[in-house]
With several copies, the nearest count.
Chain A
Amino acid sequence: MLREQAQGFLADNCPPAVVRAVLEGDHEYDEGLWKKIIEMGWTATVIPEEFGGLGLSFLELSVIAEELGRVVAPVPFSSSVYLATEALKLAGSVEQKEKWLPKLATGEVIGTLAMSEGAGRPDAGNIKCEESDGTLTGTKIPVPDAGIAGLSIVLAKSGEGASLYLVEMAQGSKVAVTPVTTLDPTRGHGQIEFDGAQAQLLGEAGQGMRLLEKLLDQAAVLFAWEQVGGAQAALEQAKGYAMERFAFGRPIGSYQAIKHKLANMYVKNTLARSNCYYGAWALSTGADELPLAAATSRVSAIQAYYFASKENIQTHGGMGFTWEFDCQFYYRRAKLLSVNIGSEAMWQDRLIDAYEQNVA
């Protein structure tokens, strides 16, 4: 039901032309689509009713994630919903939730997570962004949706170690955003410079890494669903082309090299999807297996999407790498999503950490 509704909605409101307009234009997202998504209530999906949300489960959100991934939607959904909203739910005080969750639910505010400070994995030992006496100073780069966010959740250090902070973006020169070009211009990114910006502690001081890990475990499942959706769309595009395009008097899809390539895509996609079902179940029930299920979903989804997106281009031959074809949408998005909350290698490592915990 929800799936059919979502598919219908996105077919109408997020055809390839919408993605292309953001790719080729100056906007960081498609504002029209975003407004309609808000009207659909998707941003409110897993926010409790008391804070103005719909109080639905992560299973519903997984369905939405997959469909947004399938159409490569150019909107800040992941930043605002999987990350900012969940960070508040996870660690926010009642006041913080009351203040921000209704605004995130109605889309009045777009939220994001500011974690990275350049190349490498951010951790308590290497972050430089620093809080002192309620103000924050330092640089975060890249931050998804930095240019359109009203609220950012920032990983920073203080006397007590790494913590998360809530920072309102509208603070004049104290919070300066510069756009940053990425591999996937259909999703806006920026650099944020905090210069004595007002910042409010989110959750316990010194618990930033622990909270971040929890938050990323949750987000990993939802990112994985977006990736699986995209991988599936790439496979369908490749299949369609392989049936239509002829070489040497027969469809290229009748050659084993192409058949087996697409069969491999199907296999990788199917395994990733099955892992994601398990991830969604673990997420929605709050099961202890979440860290393992999340890492498994994430690693297999990264691999499936990379493979499907690059081999979709390959299946298209010369057409595949022309600007006018849409194969590039998946290729760009696959790579962006594969690093956006930590790389394949980082999640492989987390997977085995979680596995060790389960075995022990």
Chain B
Amino acid sequence: MDFSDSPEEAAFRKEARAWLEDNVPSKEEFKGLDEVGQAKLWQKRKYDAGWACISWPKEFGGRGASPIENVIWNTEEAKYELPGAIFSIGQGMAAPTMMMWADDEAKARYLPKLASGEEVWCQLFSEPAGGSDLAALRTKAEKDGDEWVINGQKTWTSGAQYSDYGILVLRTDPSVPKHKGLTYFYIDMKAPGIEIKPIKQISGGANFNEVYFTDMRVSDSQRLGGEGQGWQVALTTLMNERASIGAGGGSVGVDSVFKLAQRVQIDGKPATQNAAVRARLADWYCQESGLKYTSWRALSALSRGETPGPENSIGKLVGASKAQDMASFAIDLQEMAGAIRDPKLSADAAMYQETFMAIPGLRIAGGTDEIMANIIAERVLGLPQDIRVDKGIPFSEIPTGA
């Protein structure tokens, strides 16, 4: 593995850098637009110049760039503060699923608009009774001629309120074992029969929604994969989810906490001189560095044509807990004042307090720590699956505790 650019990579980086320098929107261009508007403006600009979703094939609006080029681009783009999170589910999860399972007509219709940001997608998998047991979903679709009729409730849907389309898995046959009675669809989120309610989190934010379906109708042509093949299709989406969620934890990391520790005193000296503080920071630095180079290694593997494995689960498993502990530690460094959550009064605009309140979600969304550890144990190490009491039992007969 080489940690410096090859001549071709350096040339690509230069090109990307130059384009960004000339094209990143100014504050004035963004003025008056909400988060969605800002994101769409920037995405369209990238699309028009061939810098959107650069690893996608050109026919779908991409650039056919290599994985390494993709990382170089992402690194360079990340040097600016730019909107774009609203596209991550559509481009990161829905698009790969469509590429693998949709027919050519659907691909031609939807993928370019996903790349250009003109259409935003969301994902509707989780349900109240599901949790880690995703396949235990109950929202049902019943066939009625060339259409399906959907009834039930999804939850934890990010961006449902501003999305144009959504991907979802539904129970089409409760009489067969859990994983076998599911079918996968994409739907128009603006169609009748859908009601969206925001879920307020303990951080005070509401990034997720509950989505209720009442006799909502969807054409059979919007089915991805065969009837009863929904779980298989969903796995395509999920493998991409874990790669795209990543470590999280925002800006709380060794860089920020180290700088905070320089400003805070212990025994009359900067906290960075305190051996206990140093030891903690050193351990976290090892984790950050290890995660960074692990993702580079996964990338090298990718560029050698290997498929990235569930090794990516490491990022989420380690990163979320680390961010929680670091936020807690940064709060402690401030002593009593660490409790203050007012951005005007608290260090770094209350970033540590905000992270502390938001992070419990990151240890859960997209698979809990416990599920991640299971994935590593089973799929990487090849250890046996947990004993399954629901195996082979018709879905309708599985114990639920309810």
| A and B physically associate | yes
Chain A residues with CB under 8 A of B278 = 348-349, 352
Chain B residues with CB under 8 A of A239 = 381-383
The one of A123, A314, A345 in contact with B279, judged by C-beta atoms closer than 8 angstroms, is A345
Report the stretch among B33-41, B98-106, B236-244, B281-289 that lies at the interface.
Answer: B281-289
Let me know if A182 is at the binding interface, CB within 8 A.
yes
Let me know if B196 is at the binding interface, CB within 8 A.
no
Q: Distance (Å) between the CB of B57 and the closest chain A CB?
A: 30
Report the stretch among A26-34, A39-47, A68-76, A273-281 that lies at the interface.
Answer: A273-281
Q: Distance (Å) between the CB of B380 and the closest chain A CB?
A: 6
For chain A, residues 239 to 257, give those with C-beta under 8 angstroms from any C-beta of chain B: 239, 242-257
> Whole-angstrom distance between the alpha carbons of A278 and B3 in the complex?
8
Chain B residues with CB under 8 Å of chain A are 1-4, 126, 131-133, 136, 155-156, 199-204, 254, 258, 263-266, 268, 272, 275-279, 281-283, 285-287, 289-294, 296-297, 311, 314, 317-318, 324, 328, 331-342, 345, 347, 353, 356-357, 360-361, 363-365, 368-370, 373-374, 376-378, 380-390, 393, 398-402
The verdict on A181 contacting B336 (CB below 8 Å), with A239-B383, A248-B386 known, is no
> Is B339 touching A336 in the complex (CB atoms < 8 A)?
yes
For chain A, residues 180 to 214, give those with C-beta under 8 angstroms from any C-beta of chain B: 180-184, 189, 191
Let me know if A48 is at the binding interface, CB within 8 A.
no
Q: Distance (Å) between the CB of B306 and the closest chain A CB?
A: 15
Let me know if A125 is at the binding interface, CB within 8 A.
yes
> Is B276 touching A340 in the complex (CB atoms < 8 A)?
no
> Is B279 touching A183 in the complex (CB atoms < 8 A)?
no
> Is B345 touching A141 in the complex (CB atoms < 8 A)?
yes
For chain A, residues 241 to 297, give those with C-beta under 8 angstroms from any C-beta of chain B: 242-260, 262-264, 266-267, 270-272, 274-275, 277-278, 281, 285, 295-296
Chain A residues with CB under 8 Å of chain B are 115-116, 118-123, 125-126, 141-142, 180-184, 189, 191, 239, 242-260, 262-264, 266-267, 270-272, 274-275, 277-278, 281, 285, 295-296, 299-300, 303, 306, 310, 313-314, 317-318, 320-324, 327-328, 331-332, 335-336, 338-349, 351-352, 355-356, 359
> Is B1 touching A281 in the complex (CB atoms < 8 A)?
yes
> Is A182 touching B340 in the complex (CB atoms < 8 A)?
yes
The verdict on A270 contacting B360 (CB below 8 Å), with A141-B340, A253-B383, A345-B276 known, is no
Q: Distance (Å) between the CB of B272 and the closest chain A CB?
A: 7
> Whole-angstrom distance between the alpha carbons of A346 and B277 in the complex?
12
> Is B328 touching A299 in the complex (CB atoms < 8 A)?
no
> Whole-angstrom distance between the alpha carbons of A248 and B386 in the complex?
10
Q: Distance (Å) between the CB of A221 and the closest chain B CB?
A: 13
The verdict on A352 contacting B136 (CB below 8 Å), with A310-B360, A324-B200 known, is no
CB closest residue in chain A, given B3: A281
> Is B294 touching A254 in the complex (CB atoms < 8 A)?
no
> Whole-angstrom distance between the alpha carbons of A346 and B387 in the complex?
45
